[in-house]
Amino acid sequence: MDGNALLDETTEAAEGPGFALSRPLLVAYVADADSEGTLRAALSDLGEGLAILRGGIAYAIRDLARKPTPQVLIVDVSGVDNPIEALDELANVCEPDVKVLVIGEQTDLDFYREITRGLGVVEYLEKPLTRDAVVRLFLPVVQGRAAFPHEIIGGRVVGVVGAHGGVGTTTVAANLAVLLAEHTRGYVALVDLNLQTGAAAMLLGVKPSAGLRVALEQPDRVDALFLDRSAVAVSDRLRLIAAEEPFEEAPRPTATGVARLMSLLRKRFNWIVVDMPTTADPALLAVYPMAQTRLLVLTPDIVAVRDTARLRAMLTALAGNDRALTVLNRFGIRGGLPLEMVEKGLGGRIDIRLPETDKAVLAALNLGVPACARSKPFRQAMLALTREVSGARVAKPTSLWRRLLGR
């Protein structure tokens, strides 16, 4: 079937509790009755678009881990010992394009500057709130009339590539996406750019939908609705974007299509895990400079060691550096090179080792479930990789959205 027709088909995306096709306009979490009353009076014209819940930022974090992220979010940081850390935790459970408005009891200018300039919060109002201040400073944000200094916000891109076919790149990418969604409670997109031979959908027990090829070849036809048509639900926080193009055809991605796709995804998801073909179309290579984190997957054999070194040279040519985490898959396999020989060949230490669990991984594939759900040793090793990828994000509360920007 023609790709244009596929994209034009009306498809219903599975809608989990955390990722909605229609997001609430404004949700406010406030800790006291006076603030609630002022917000209701000042924003009354929004009608059903306004939802105010009693509770501060801690309640907001718990609630939004289970519900769709609104387009605009008001949170109350009153009485919080470390509001910066709390705002950082809030970022883990919200879609990156949410516009955050904060109310609280802090009155010093340094706090205002830190959260609005350093953290990406749109506006801050100190209590007690006044109707005039809410109308003047909050309402334009809700109505889309305010100018925002940070137009490019978005999730963190993780590029995963294998030294050669068969080293387990898709297994690593798919299980990493599952565990990121499970443990960070962020919104995660797994993008399989193996357009004809991709296996991510099979590993997760779902079927790819139409649209990815068209998005890459004809970016002018793609808008935000692409996500709703093409993103397949794996869980409430994880979506898969993949394809199964016929072998007899030749997809022709464009650099513009790749850039637009990644831009759309970064605005909607906290994490974008990209399963890269080892031998990629030149247009797809544009993902590497975009990726804040890169994973090089290899097995303990001499060919994989050689090609990992070649991949590092490619990263230097494309992105200006060879910065990447090395993931040694099938560690301990009978007949494989010992660790010291692998590290000697690479000229550096292996960052993560995944144990040889071939039977469990194969059984998981045949059942259409993540391998981390079938093998405890593999899960523990993948959790170490998940922490390595997301650790700076949870351990260093420096910025609400800076981590999402990779800055």
* pLDDT attached to residue 395: 36
Half-sphere exposure of 10 (CA within 13 A, CB side): 0
Domain-located, residue 368? yes
Per the listing, tokens 């890269």 go with 276
Last residue of a domain, one of 142, 174, 204: 142
Same domain, 160 and 99: no
Same domain, 98 and 231: no
Please name which of 133, 150, 158 lies closest in space to residue 292, comparing C-alpha atoms.
158
The torsion angles phi and psi of 120, rounded to 5 degrees, stand at: 85, 5
* pLDDT attached to residue 148: 55
DSSP one-letter string for 319-369: HSS---EEEEEEET-TTPPPHHHHHHHHTS--SEEEE--HHHHHHHHHHTS
Tokens of residue 266, six digits:
């970064």
- 219 three-state secondary structure: helix
Q: Supply the CATH number for residue 400's domain.
A: 3.40.50.300
- Asked if 175 and 200 touch (Cβ cutoff 8 Å), the reply is no
Domain-located, residue 4? no
Same domain, 232 and 162: yes
d(CA 141, CA 39): 14
- Asked if 84 and 119 touch (Cβ cutoff 8 Å), the reply is yes
227 contacts: CB under 8 Å, gap ≥ 6: 239, 264, 265, 268
Number of domains in the chain: 2
- CA distances, 314 to each of 270, 298, 309, 321, 399 (Å): 27, 16, 9, 9, 32
- Asked if 99 and 121 touch (Cβ cutoff 8 Å), the reply is no
Same domain, 174 and 222: yes
Return the C-alpha torsion angle 325, 360, 339, 344, nearest 10. Answer: -50
d(CA 154, CA 175): 22
Q: Which residues pair with 51 in a beta bridge?
A: 27
What pTM did the predictor assign? 0.75
Residues in the chain predicted with pLDDT less than 50, given as ranges, are 1-18, 150-152, 392-407
* pLDDT attached to residue 19: 53
Same domain, 78 and 171: no
Amino acid sitting at position 158 = V
Q: Supply the CATH number for residue 38's domain.
A: 3.40.50.2300
Tokens of residue 299, six digits:
């097995």
Please name the helix (run of DSSP H) or strand (run of DSSP E) that holds residue 224, with its range, or none.
none
Same domain, 238 and 311: yes
Domain-located, residue 8? no
Domain-located, residue 1? no
pLDDT (tens digit, 9 = 90+) per residue, 155-207?
A: 899 999 999 999 999 999 999 999 999 988 889 999 999 999 999 999 999 99
Last residue of a domain, one of 116, 142, 168: 142
Tokens of residue 172, six digits:
């690593």
Q: Which residues pair with 102 in a beta bridge?
A: 75, 124
Domain-located, residue 248? yes
Same domain, 398 and 255: yes
d(CA 272, CA 190): 6
Last residue of a domain, one of 92, 114, 142: 142
Domain-located, residue 48? yes
d(CA 407, CA 399): 9
Same domain, 178 and 126: no
- Asked if 134 and 111 touch (Cβ cutoff 8 Å), the reply is no
Domain-located, residue 15? no
The torsion angles phi and psi of 184, rounded to 5 degrees, stand at: -95, -20
- CA distances, 71 to each of 50, 97, 118, 231, 367 (Å): 11, 8, 21, 19, 38
* pLDDT attached to residue 119: 77
* pLDDT attached to residue 398: 39
- 249 three-state secondary structure: coil
**What is the distance in angstroms between the CA of the first residue and the CA of the last residue of the chain?**
42
Same domain, 316 and 360: yes
* pLDDT attached to residue 341: 97
The number of residues making up the chain comes to 407
Is 224 exposed, middle or buried, given 0-12, 13-18 or 19+ CB atoms closer than 10 A? exposed
Same domain, 123 and 160: no
Find the domain containing 73 and state its range: 26-142
Same domain, 223 and 334: yes
Domain-located, residue 93? yes
Same domain, 190 and 301: yes
